[in-house]
Amino acid sequence: MSAPIRFSTNFLKSSLKLCNIVAFALILLIQLPYTAANLPRGVMPAAASLYTDSGLFTCFSWDGSRAVPSPISIERDKINDDYCDCPDGSDEPGTSACSNGIFFCENKGFVPTKLVSSRVNDGICDCCDGSDEYASNANCQDDCFARGTKLREEKEKERILLEEGHKIYETYCSEGQTFKKNQEDQLTKLGNDIEELQKQWDEINRIKEEKEIPEKAAKAKHEAAWKEEKEKKNAEQVHLKGITAFHELDSDGNGLVSIEEMQKHIEFDIDRNGEVASEEAKEYLEDNETIDEVLFMEKVWPSIREIYTAAKPPEQKKGDDEDTPPIPQDEEEEEETDDENDNPESHQAPTDNENKDNPTESEDEMPEYDDETKALIEAAEQARSSFNEIDQKIKDIKKDISDIEADLKIDYGPNNEFQKVKEGGCIEYTDREYTYKLCPFDRASQRPKDGGVETTLGYWGLWNGPSDNLYSSMKYEKGQNCWNGPDRSVVVKVSCGTENQIISASEPSRCEYEFQFKSPAACGKTFSDLNKTDPEHDEL
């Protein structure tokens, strides 16, 4: 056989006819930089020279855009003879013989396309010029021009969009970077501030501690004196109560308390049988039939003090209250507040004075500090107040620093362009059933359109685009757990748009959501950047 292209005898006739027509068309209509008519079918322009040389054909494979020859060479008439001779598939660019072959459709008027060779003559028109179906029944129409026109329109729209988007992107970048720079500057400044403040803090703290020593001593002295006095007062009161009790018990006023007199007081009913037996009374009287005041005070009062109930309750109650003086409480609070900032409640000492209007209670109040102590307290107070002020300042700055550092840790893109997206706040999208909400770099959620509980779909996790396009996809994870399933999560696919908006939301797998998100932040590549990869772009 001498024909350059060989087929099975069965479809040879019909295919030859088609071939002729195609070849004729190629010769007549197309002026290409290389002689297309001599080139085997399906060869891509970049490889043209490898097929036009004379002599044996050397099989080759592509390493990126570089053709790497293999050690295998074949006769030239085996190119496109519908039998795969080259393991790399290079001998059959125009047939489906090699499973790894590449068919090139020129698609004049549209975009040239590379097809896997299994698409050749499979009955489906893959090339708009129909060149892939030269020997099938597909009857493809050449609609490259129409598709080209449409594509050009789309490209133009895309170009405008990309340009517009890119402009915004640039402001996003600059603002994002400025923002970041400001943050970093701020961080430096705050660092310096904190250093400076720390020095002051040390000094103020020193002063505070210095002032607190005499204050503490004076207060302690005052308080010790008060404590002693209070104890004395207490003892007197107890004694007085005992005397009173003696006289109350001594109902016949004979100066002795007898068993009978004791039996009138039900509190001495040891076995709680409802009456005070003489043994019980005697027990309290330390085995005496009667007892005088001195012995009473010495032996009996200490043991009945706690259980004795006075005949006159009002007087008795007063005694109860006296047991719980409020002063120690105040002291405690005052001490605690030393370390706190100026809490209004910490200045209770002055208000205590007001209580003095109440004569019964004021008796038990610690008397005011003397003027000297007051002065010392005042001085210490002032030192504490300055200390609290500076301490708080440092804390505030530290918080600012950690906030900024945390934010700086978030990857807002190579030029911090996504910072603007975050700043823009939450974005909503409503479909047939749900309203979806994305708060960028924070949280994604969903709620039924007709009201109902909001479900967290995920919290900001990471960028998870492919390594060559990391910022094309973000993941929000660890959302609300699905019943009998995983935690909800969202993949947000990010693409260029002139405003930040979600254009679709779906749930491809149960509880695994996907949002399509448009944003100027994703308009990093310009139209020409994107179309550079398309070498035949100019032909449009």
> Which chain residues interact with another protein by CB under 8 A?
6, 8-11, 81-83, 85, 96-97, 99, 116, 118-119, 121-124, 136, 432-434, 448, 452-453, 455, 482-486, 506-512
Tell me, what amino acid is at 83?
A: Y
CB of 421 to another protein, least distance (A): 26
| Nearest to another protein of 130, 524 (CB atom) | 130
CB of 30 to another protein, least distance (A): 29
| Nearest to another protein of 273, 484 (CB atom) | 484
Rounded Cα distance, 531 and 525, in Å: 10
| Nearest to another protein of 24, 83 (CB atom) | 83
CB of 467 to another protein, least distance (A): 13
What is the separation, in whole angstroms, between the first and last Cα of the chain? 39
| Nearest to another protein of 425, 448 (CB atom) | 448
| Nearest to another protein of 137, 533 (CB atom) | 137
CB of 39 to another protein, least distance (A): 23
Residue 136 is given by DSSP the state S
CB of 453 to another protein, least distance (A): 8
| Nearest to another protein of 82, 215 (CB atom) | 82
Rounded Cα distance, 411 and 405, in Å: 12
The count of other CB atoms within 10 Å of the CB of residue 39 is: 21
Rounded Cα distance, 68 and 54, in Å: 18
CB of 470 to another protein, least distance (A): 17
Rounded Cα distance, 122 and 319, in Å: 110
| Nearest to another protein of 381, 512 (CB atom) | 512
- Give the angle 491-496-500 at the CA atoms, nearest 5°: 75
For residue 330 the two structure tokens come to 């105040």
For residue 182 the two structure tokens come to 């400001």
Instruction: Write the CB contacts of 304 (distance below 8 Å, at least 6 apart in sequence).
Output: 245, 267, 268, 284
* Backbone φ/ψ region at 124: left (φ over 0), alpha (ψ -120 to 50), beta: beta
- Give the angle 78-82-85 at the CA atoms, nearest 5°: 50
Rounded Cα distance, 226 and 323, in Å: 16
CB of 473 to another protein, least distance (A): 14
Q: Looking up tokens 């949002």, which residue turns up?
A: 515
Nearest Cα neighbor of 521 from 413, 425, 447, 423 is 413
| Nearest to another protein of 357, 433 (CB atom) | 433
CB of 100 to another protein, least distance (A): 10
CB of 122 to another protein, least distance (A): 4
Output 1-4 pairs: Cβ under 8 A, ≥24 positions apart. 1/77, 2/77, 4/40, 4/77, 4/79, 4/80
| Nearest to another protein of 258, 445 (CB atom) | 445
Strand 489-496 relative to strand 512-519, pairing: parallel
